[in-house]
Amino acid sequence: MTTNWLGLPLLASATGQQIDSLIAWIHVFMFVLFIGWGTFFMYALIRFRASRNPVANYTGVKSHATNYLEAGVLVIEMVLLFAFSIPLWAARVDHVPSESEALVVQVTGEQFAWNVRYAGPDGKFGKTDIKLIDLQSNPLGVDRSDPDAKDDVTTLNQLYLPANRPIIVKLRSKDVIHSFNVPEMRVKQDAIPGLTIPIWFTPTVTTEEMRQRTGNPEFQYEIACAQLCGLGHYRMRAFVTVLSPEEFQKWLDAEEAKVKSLGSGVWGG
Ligand SMILES: [Cu+2]
């Protein structure tokens, strides 16, 4: 189904069309329900008007037809839920791509920022320690003395992603419930303290292409925090930059070099 009429933000992910179709179908079904119930309401208003029914009917309906109708509605709704809704949702959410083909990024929400962490060339996220947390220099408490942590790249409010490769975001929170929302990717997931929740999507449009498409040379994808998480909630936004795979690798290599030049001493290793 074409979904332009919904007025949603431009689409920039591979699976987003499914979400848009779902939203469109829900609108269509709700419109049908609206017409159906609206018609019934008008019918009831006219059919049971006071001038035609001056005395109330104290016995009411005696047949059991409505009981059967309600049972029928219940059965249909159970079929919709168990045969369609749950399997479709599971297909979209549960089948996370394998970590070998995807890029795994850890995103940690805090009041009021998004901390991003890449595993580096070894593909392993190093240890973190709550005692090493320093809001300025080491907001995630990365333990740089751990060999796996030596090449971990961290950024603040900047999520760089390659286009056309599945991205697995492992969402965490340091304090309260936040919500990771990138409207153009059609992803939204709560970040809950104590849990690591994976969410995945495949960006298909680079930031540069999107700037051309929108005619806005300053266009940026944004992560908006979609849960009211405190007084600074309004400013809890971060930017997503989608690059071509080559540009992304270049960016990651440069960040890598920065981490190396800082050395473990600076990071309290
Ligand atoms: Cu938040």
Q: What is the pLDDT of residues 43-65, one digit of tens each?
A: 999 999 989 888 888 888 888 99
Residue 148 identity: D
> Is residue 48 reached through a cis peptide bond, with omega within 30 degrees of 0 on the bond before it?
no
Residue 263: what pLDDT?
Answer: 63
The sheet with strand 237-243 has its strands ordered as 158-162, 237-243, 221-225, 178-182, 187-191
CA distances from 194 to 62, 108, 165, 231 (A): 56, 11, 28, 22
- Taking the centre of ligand 1 as the mean of its atom positions, its distance from the CA of residue 194, in whole angstroms, is 15
* Average pLDDT score over residue span 236-242: 94
User: Which residues hold their Cβ within 5 A of ligand 1, which is an ion?
Assistant: 178, 225, 229, 236
Ligand 1 centre and the CA of 39: distance in Å? 43
Cα(198) to ligand 1 centroid in Å equals 17
Gap from CA of 111 to ligand 1 centroid (Å): 6
* pLDDT confidence of residue 220: 95
The tens digit of pLDDT for each residue in 189-205 reads 999 999 999 999 999 99
Distance 207 CA to ligand 1 centre (A): 24
pTM above the 0.75 mark? yes
Decide the pairing of beta strands 167-173 and 103-110. parallel
Ligand 1 mean position, distance from CA 142 (Å): 21
Q: Which residues, in sequence order, are bridge partners of residue 223?
A: 238
d(CA 108, ligand 1 centre) in Å = 10
Residue 176 CA, ligand 1 centroid: distance in Å:
8
Q: Is the pLDDT of residue 41 over 90?
A: yes
Please compute the mean of the pLDDT values over residues 30-34 and round it to a whole number: 97
CA of 181 to the centre of ligand 1 (A): 10
Q: What is the pLDDT of residues 85-144, one digit of tens each?
A: 899 888 877 788 888 899 999 999 999 999 999 998 888 888 888 888 888 888 888 888
Q: What is the rounded distance in angstroms from the CA atom of residue 104 to the CA atom of residue 106?
A: 7
| Torsion, Cα of 252, 253, 256, 258 (10° steps) | -110
Q: Is 33 exposed, middle or buried (CB count within 10 Å of its CB: 0-12, 13-18, 19+)?
A: exposed
Q: What angle do CA 216, 14, 219 make, to 5 degrees?
A: 15
Which class for 140: exposed (0-12), middle (13-18), buried (19 or more C-beta within 10 A)?
A: buried
Whether 267 has a pLDDT exceeding 80, the answer reads no
